[in-house]
Amino acid sequence: MNRSTAAVANAFFLFVGVAGLIIQIASGVPGFPDIPPGPFILGVTGILVLTLAAKYRWILFLGVAAPVFILVGALLEGSFWGRLADVGDFGPFVGTVLLIGGVIAAAVSGAVAISGAYRRVAVR
């Protein structure tokens, strides 16, 4: 069984979210813990989707759950709106754009991957 394009896109956008988080941490955005769990959650999920989704379809649900978890956390915390509004502070702005765009795209592509993986094949 081959990996679907949507599953590869899901993993790619999870890694985009990781890049956004790393840029935010490196640029000194306050409020991150000493060892932030976000990059690990998204990164491990991306690796699992990329390597195991072709064999175990249920892994694709992680590819939706992880970005939704991070997105809900960002919405509840709320400070990313200020970073998106301040284009002049380039590092936090780019990191936030990559993170929010990545997790939204990962959730959508993950849903498409799940739909394709569980679609019944018509009898010919």
CA distances (Å), 70 to each of 56, 84, 101, 114, 116, in order?
23, 17, 12, 19, 24
Q: Write out pLDDT tens, residues 74-121.
A: 999 989 999 999 999 999 999 999 999 999 999 999 999 999 999 865
Is a pLDDT exceeding 60 seen at residue 59? yes
3 pLDDT band (50/70/90 cuts)? confident
Angle between helices 59-77 and 38-52 (to 10 degrees): 160
Q: What is the pLDDT of residue 1?
A: 55
Percent of the chain with pLDDT over 90: 86
Q: What is the pLDDT of residue 33?
A: 87
| Domain coordinates in residue numbering, the chain | 5-118
